Amino acid sequence: MFEAHHHARMLADTTRLTAFHNAMAEVIADRDRVLDAGTGTGILAAMASQLTTRTVVGVEYLEDTASFAQQALHASHLDRVEVIQGNAAQVDIGPPPDVVVSETIGALGPEENIVGLTHALRQRYPDIRAFIPSRLRVLAEPIVSAEADTLRASIIGAFTGERPGGLSFAAVVPQAEQALGSQIITASLTDTTSSGPARTLIEYDLGTTSEADFSQTLSLGDSPANAVHLYFEAPLSPAVTLSSHRAAAFTHWGHSYIVRPSNASAVTIGYRHAERRFTCRWNSTTAPDEPQAVSGPPAGRTISVRPSR
């Protein structure tokens, strides 16, 4: 089924569209062949077609979405954009592309398989001149956030005091707090200050990096941080970088963060491509601030909270 709500939010994201337009104008040359991998509604392919005299190919994996894009492009008389349904790394797109555009960026970066997709395209078309974006970074910033305190008070408060039937959660409140800390919250961070420098957890060289999995331990020690802000940076061109950082222009990706449990001094943040999700595990002892292998049971999931702006 065509996800109208999801695509409407992306089409309304002028920050996203302006960033890609400016980057494509900087990178795409007049005679370039352009592939939009994961074209969705075809909006980026349509913009790219205004920058080259060659046909732009947009490939979309979902059949209903590809059909939607085809109909919209045809009705708009954008005849130099061709939409193909299938896997962008496998379908026949004709001559090899000079430039690959791909906005297959998840809330924190790699969840929509941009790393594996761009690597597969480079293997298939070794002469690709440029990828948009060219790199992808996932970062973590310790923060002091009023939103995190409000969320913690609301959730922990629900487990405080006796409930009907004589049930008391007093013995398991710490477990509930640890569970909250493992969940990635997506909202709007407005009343927030930094509590330490941001750290790059992973940087992918798109087209070259083949594996998206990583695990890093971030030590907070005695920092006053009550949360950790997780975000991505995607350099689209030498002059344009798209970011989901709380201080950047707000986008449909929102702001992501994890709440620090009481007495927790370190958090291990990882990504597992096989499950397409991030995991967050807190501990109360200071852990070495260096990469570790991904291990242990899955611990993280994402909660979406309606942004306040």
CA distance 308 to 99: 37
85, 30: one domain: yes
202, 277: one domain: yes
pLDDT at 289 > cutoff 70: no
**pLDDT for the residue numbered 163:** 84
What percent of the chain clears pLDDT 70, i.e. is strictly above it? Answer: 92
268: CATH = 2.70.160.11
In a domain, 108, yes or no: no
Range of the domain at 191: 136-304
Residues 6+ apart with CB under 8 A from 45: 34, 36, 39, 56, 57, 58, 69, 73, 81, 83, 101
79, 207: one domain: no
In a domain, 180, yes or no: yes
Domain boundary among 103, 128, 159: 103
* pLDDT digits 0-9 by tens, 238-288: 999 999 999 999 999 999 999 999 989 999 999 999 999 999 999 975 444
In a domain, 28, yes or no: yes
pTM of the model: 0.90
In a domain, 114, yes or no: no
* pLDDT digits 0-9 by tens, 81-135: 999 999 999 999 999 999 999 999 999 999 999 999 999 999 999 999 999 999 9
Give the number of domains in the chain. 2
